[in-house]
Amino acid sequence: MTQEPWKVGTSKEFVILAVAVLGCYALFPAGATASCGPAANARAGVLSPALPSLQKPGLVQRAAASTGASRPASIVGLWHVLLVSDGQPFDEGFDAWHSDGTETLNDTSPPQPANGAGTVCLGVYKKIGPGTYKLKHPFWSFDANANLAGRGVLAEIVTLDAGGNSYHGSFTLELFDLSGNLIFEATGDLTAERITPD
């Protein structure tokens, strides 16, 4: 009996195939867009006026109590988040908080090299009080020629509101050059609403 080429016959063959696929990903890394936040040369960290706001009817929908009445609300889920600094929009995005303590943000920073930043980056969080969470969100920054220019950290403290379908809090963003020198800092407030499949 001939085995079809796309089928893996044994667990050993599966392991070899998985390692080969992962090796290909390591050999061919993604482009220099895996970062988020403002560019090193961004003016005051304010969003580009050309970017439309995502605050449109029907985009973000409220859920009934997402976790049921017997359990406390959870941060786990998909959120529409808006960050404001000095009264101005600073960043906006879709933020997924996972049950394993990791987080993924897809924000409105234009893909690099337009501003030195990308749109998707990752973070980790922990619960620090009833309905309150601390997030650490590192990212890379690039210059206009797609060269690595430094790194940054977005830190948040957020608290779920009653019902668990929105949260609010504060943020600090720090951007460092390749030598570790602080070159930009912003602070502000943030709000988020849960996105549901309904």
Amino acid letter at 17? L
Q: How many CB atoms lie within 10 A of CB 196?
A: 14
Q: Which residues pair with 81 in a beta bridge?
A: 93, 192
Q: What distances in angstroms separate CA 115 from CA 14, 123, 198, one per listed residue?
A: 42, 21, 35
In this predicted model, what pLDDT tens digit does every residue of 137-192 receive, in sequence order? Answer: 999 888 888 889 999 999 999 999 999 999 999 999 999 999 999 999 999 999 99
In this predicted model, what pLDDT tens digit does every residue of 36-90 receive, in sequence order? Answer: 655 444 433 434 334 444 444 344 444 333 444 456 789 999 999 999 999 999 9
In this predicted model, what pLDDT tens digit does every residue of 94-132 receive, in sequence order? Answer: 999 999 999 999 988 655 444 445 568 899 999 999 999
pLDDT, residue 110, reads 56
* Nearest-angstrom CA–CA distance, 168 and 83: 10
In the chain, where are the structural domains located? 77-195
Q: Which CATH class is domain 77-195?
A: mainly beta
What is the value of pTM for the model shown?
A: 0.66
Q: What distances in angstroms separate CA 98 from CA 101, 123, 146, 184, 186, one per listed residue?
A: 6, 10, 30, 29, 26
